[in-house]
Chain A
Amino acid sequence: MATGGEGPHAEDTFAKLLRAHATLRGTSPAFRLKDLGLWQTWSWGQVYEETRAIAQGLIGLGLKPGETIAIVGANRPRLYWSITAAQMVGAVPVPVYADAVADEIAAVLVHSEATIIVAQDQEQVDKILSVRDRLPRLARLLYDEPRGLGDYDEPGLAPLAAVAAKGRAALADPAVASSLDRLIDAGKGSDPSVILYTSGTTGRSKGVVMSGERSIRAARHTVAFDRLTDRDEALAYLPLAWVGDHYLNYAQGYVAGFCIACPESAETAASDLREIGPTYHFAPPRVFEALLTRVQIRMEDAGAVKRWLFRHFMEVARRWGEKITNGERVPLSARLAYRLGDLLIYAPLKNALGFSRVRVAYTAGEAIGADLFAFYRSIGLNLKQLYGQTEAFLFVTAQADRAVRSDAVGPPAPSVEVRIAESGEVQFKSPGMFVGYFREDDKTREAMTDDGYVKTGDAGFFDSDGQLKIIDRAKDVGRLRNGQMFAPKYIENKLKFFPEIREAVTIGDGREFVAAMINIELASVGNWAERNNVAYASYQELAANGQVYAMIEKRVDAVNRALSLEPVMAGAQIRRFLILPKELDPDDGELTRTQKVRRGFVAERYASLIEGLYGGAGEASIRAEITYEDGRKGKLDATARIVDLPSYPPARRADAA
């Protein structure tokens, strides 16, 4: 097996992996794309030919080894092939977040010094052209989808298809073809294979440089860990520029030889998921949460019989499902009831969600609610957690089948060394570890310890069963003025586990008490409003509604009660809260592109609201500028009511940990 082993002939670059698949499983499906309503499939053999054509075309455009080439767009087969084609030539691909606004894209393009850009469509081309004056090194701008670009007259703008066609024509000459073969052979595993820009949760994003051999080695370990084979299939819907996609789909797909299916568009991903029925799936907790919310909303609108069946069998699943998934012993009657439930509810539900064939599913990125996690596991989905970051090439820890729980992220992944520093920070050394930050050696040094471990910046500890528990960002863990430990994310996650709360920001470091700003979830609160005859026209109006406030107050109160049961956290109960009159949005810089709250920025922007929270006022106003996706600005001018809450006395628990 050319792709399974670690022998001296094992492929150490993605171009060599692709070539091996083309010989080993030339006719097996490698990529799919839904186009004009039909799934188009390319075999490994075809993908190899297409990739060679693009690579030769790029050589024709003057792309040199070591140069960078940016890829801007969603998950399209040709964009993945462009990544491999660049690697084939010895150039370094830089995938860029497609939903970023022009300014953010420009920052990455300038920093990465890309000479060629492959963009998906007119939207991306427009964004790039709008910042072209900042990109003096940019020589060529290629695009995959020609629609709307017919009468653009811009120097260097050309369709990717034309470049590939030229490459294909050139490759008809055996001399050219064998020279490309030699280029593939000459590719070294130690060369940079990709630069992945971090999402920038903590400041400006950094270019994380990976090498081919490290990426492939890490992917081999996890492919073996989850027993992925060329019969598996995944839907590639995660941002192309995110390490998760590059690892889970690209690297693992190229190592295991499984098929990568690309959705028709971002909006159709849910129905494409159902049609493809992947066997290997990743989704961040918020996606699983949104799916569950949708199921619950639809069940509430369903007929009485269906509702009863759903409730009854979900109760059966809650009691026995996880035990059965984990292979524990359960009474025969429970097994039979679960079987019946599978027939009537779980299997149809999984089918409706597109999870029928899923063998391994992961979630990561944020803490996942215990109930949410249990829901999916109890209906028989093998959902597990992993903990990782870009610098590790994703995996730091991962849960093994049958050793899964919601409040921890698993033991170290295969061949990864993890330790907890004195400060409580999690540090690791892994086979897929990054080479360094692109053009930022000082930052690279800062991120590493003297003995070669990577500092994650996360605070955590190992539980008694060897699974890692993450509390918060190490630098975010603060103290109230009385010395009480304050872990904002820990409290926020408890709030966010309620379906009505989409996002929460808690404040408390250096303050007298903990206060919270809350974003309601429009889908579930909107549905609640509909059922309770609460009229509203906008998010802002719903957020200011008295009944909504009363409901959220109950949720915050429940969190306080839960906190009071934990000796370490009892002093950090929420005393005052308000509902934000606006949804936090990455376009306004309040969230990162991966939907994480930018704490510092939010604190600055909503300073007047925070002042109100601590000033004892009954309400606070906010004036701010908001940005639309196309870059236009608008004004926000709103007032939020502030609610005071009682605290629970710290409860004593016999089994307090």
Chain B
Amino acid sequence: MTAPNDILLAVEHVSLSFGGVRAISDVSFDIRKGEVRAIIGPNGAGKTSMLNVVNGFYHPQQGAIRWQGQARSRMKPHEAAAQGIARTFQNVALFKGMTTLDNIMTGRSLRMRRNIFWQAMRHGPALDEEIEHRRVCEEIIDFLEIEHIRKTAVGALPYGLQKRVELGRALAMEPVLLLLDEPMAGMNREEKEDMSRFIVEANRYRGATVALIEHDMGVVMDLSDRVVVLDYGRKIADDVPDAVKSDKKVIGAYLGVGQ
């Protein structure tokens, strides 16, 4: 039904164990270019492990990952980053002592071409380059409406804003694929609405394909094009939101109904 070159990333029969614990068993799904793909499931279903496999932090014992049509061998997270995979974390992972702007600027570091010596000199071509990176970051600051905290150390910011800054850093990489691990966790409704808007706009206007883990079902069903459901490390459903919502297995997994 889809041309293979539409597929940005394919997870093929992946299994992952930690010692005797099976985190993921034989899961396959794909992420198409330009879509918002949600991974949902009850606690401990293996969602974060799955994201860690996708960005190369974990290496599955079985199965393969195809990235833009190429089978991917053991890849490290920084290599994944260099290929355009950016992510945010379940518990915010920012440099707390640095300002919002500096944190977002770190998202540009992979795109800096001048070596660290020239960057430290802030002179000539390195300065031009920094000005260009700063412009990109300022556009992201404008996009995320965080001008007022540009110069504030992120450690002093409320949680909802820290999440926004983290999204900003991921966007600064101009990612091909944006992985979001519970972007709305711990947010109130207004913050969730803002964050949803940013995700939609990042997807639509900044051209990022998005894969997200989220517990708020309202958000997931509104935002995503397709949803894959994991339960105890197995895939139990993979479809458009409406179909997933009415899937008996999914309802069972969430409500704990025995089968």
Flag whether B143 is at the interface (Cβ < 8 A).
Answer: yes
- Of the listed stretches A264-272, A399-407, A473-481, A527-535, chain B binds A264-272
**Which of B22-30, B162-170, B197-205, B246-254 lies on the face that meets chain A?**
B197-205
Task: Assess whether A150 is interfacial by the CB under 8 Å rule.
Answer: yes
Q: Evaluate whether A268 and B148 lie within 8 angstroms (CB atoms) in the complex, with A36-B138, A37-B141, A150-B204 already known.
A: yes
- Of B138, B145, B204, which one neighbours A265 at CB under 8 angstroms? B145
Proximity bits, A29-52, B CB within 8 Å = 1, else 0: 000001111100000000000000
**Given B138, B193, B201, B205, which contacts A37 in the complex, CB threshold below 8 Å?**
B138
Chain B 123-138: CB-based contact to A (< 8 A → 1; otherwise 0): 0000000000011001
Interface membership of B192, Cβ < 8 A: no
Q: Is B142 an interface residue (CB 8 A)?
A: yes
Say yes or no: is A546 at the interface (Cβ < 8 Å to chain B).
Answer: no
Distance in Å: Cβ of B8 to nearest Cβ of chain A: 22
For residue B135, which residues in chain A have a CB less than 8 angstroms away from its CB?
A: 36
- A147 interface residue (CB < 8 Å to B): yes
Which A residues are in CB contact (< 8 Å) with B145? 265
Question: In the bound complex, do residue B139 and residue A265 qualify as a contact, i.e. CB atoms below 8 Å apart?
Answer: no
If the complex has contacts A265-B145, A268-B148, are A148 and B138 also in contact, measured as CB distance less than 8 A?
no
Contact indicator B147/A148 (Cβ below 8 Å): no
- In the complex, what distance in Å separates the CA atom of A193 from the CA atom of B97? 52
A628 to B193, CA, bound (A): 13
B142 and A36 contacting across the interface, CB-CB below 8 Å:
yes
Interface of B is mostly: helix
B178, chain A: closest CB distance, angstroms: 18
Q: A364 to B193: give the CA distance in the assembly, Å.
A: 37
Q: When A36-B142, A37-B141, A265-B145 are in contact, do A150 and B205 touch as well, CB less than 8 Å?
A: yes
- In this assembly, does B150 line the interface, its C-beta being within 8 Å of a C-beta of chain A? yes
Query: How many whole Å from A336's CB to the nearest CB in chain B?
Result: 37
Give a binary string over B170-212; 1 marks a CB under 8 Å from any A CB, 0 the rest.
0000000000000000000010010001000100110000000
Which single residue of chain A is at the shortest CB-CB distance from B151? Answer: A271
Chain B minimum-CB-distance residue to A150:
B205
A201 CB, nearest partner CB in chain B, Å: 28
Contact residues of A between 579 and 631, Cβ < 8 Å to B = 628-630
Min C-beta distance of A153 to chain B, whole Å: 14
Q: Flag if A264 contacts B147 (CB, 8 Å).
A: yes
Chain A residues, CB < 8 A from B147: 34, 37, 264-265, 267-268
Residues of the A chain whose Cβ atoms lie less than 8 Å from the Cβ of B139: 36
The reply to whether B142 and A148 form a contact with Cβ atoms under 8 Å apart is: no
CA A37 to CA B139, docked complex, whole Å: 9
Query: Complex Cα distance A498/B197, Å?
Result: 41
Task: Give the Cβ gap from B148 to chain A, nearest Cβ, in Å.
Answer: 3
Residue on B nearest A628 in the bound complex, by CB: B190
A607-B106 Cα distance, complex, nearest whole Å: 56
User: Bound complex: CA of A275 vs CA of B18, how far in Å?
Assistant: 55
Bound CA span A147–B135, Å: 17
Closest Cβ of chain A to B143, distance in Å, is 7
- Chain A residues lying within 8 Å of B143, measured Cβ to Cβ, are 147
Partner of B148, one of A38, A150, A267, A629: A267
With contacts A37-B138, A150-B204 taken as known, whether A265 is within 8 angstroms of B148 at the C-beta atoms is: yes
Q: Tell me which residues across on chain A come within 8 A of B205, comparing CB atoms.
A: 150
**Smallest beta-carbon distance B139→chain A, Å:** 6
Contacting residues, chain B, for A151 (C-beta < 8 A):
204
Which A residues touch B150, using CB under 8 A? 37
Please indicate the chain B residues that have their CB under 8 angstroms from the CB of A34 in the complex: 147
**For B151, what are the chain A residues with a Cβ–Cβ distance below 8 Å?**
271
Give bound CA distance, A628 to B148, whole Å. 23
Chain A hits for B141, CB < 8 A:
36-37
Give the interface centre of A37, A264, A629 by most chain B CB atoms within 10 Å: A37
The 10 closest A-B pairs by CB, nearest first: A267-B148, A36-B138, A37-B138, A268-B148, A264-B147, A268-B147, A265-B147, A36-B142, A148-B201, A36-B139
A-B contact pairs, 16 of them (CB 8 A): A35-B142, A36-B135, A36-B138, A37-B134, A37-B141, A37-B150, A38-B138, A147-B201, A148-B201, A150-B205, A151-B204, A265-B148, A268-B148, A271-B148, A271-B151, A630-B190
Binding site for B on A (CB under 8 A): 34-38, 147-148, 150-151, 264-265, 267-268, 271, 628-630
Q: 8 extra interchain contacts, Cβ-Cβ under 8 A, other than A36-B142, A150-B204?
A: A37-B141, A37-B147, A147-B143, A150-B205, A265-B145, A271-B148, A630-B190, A630-B193
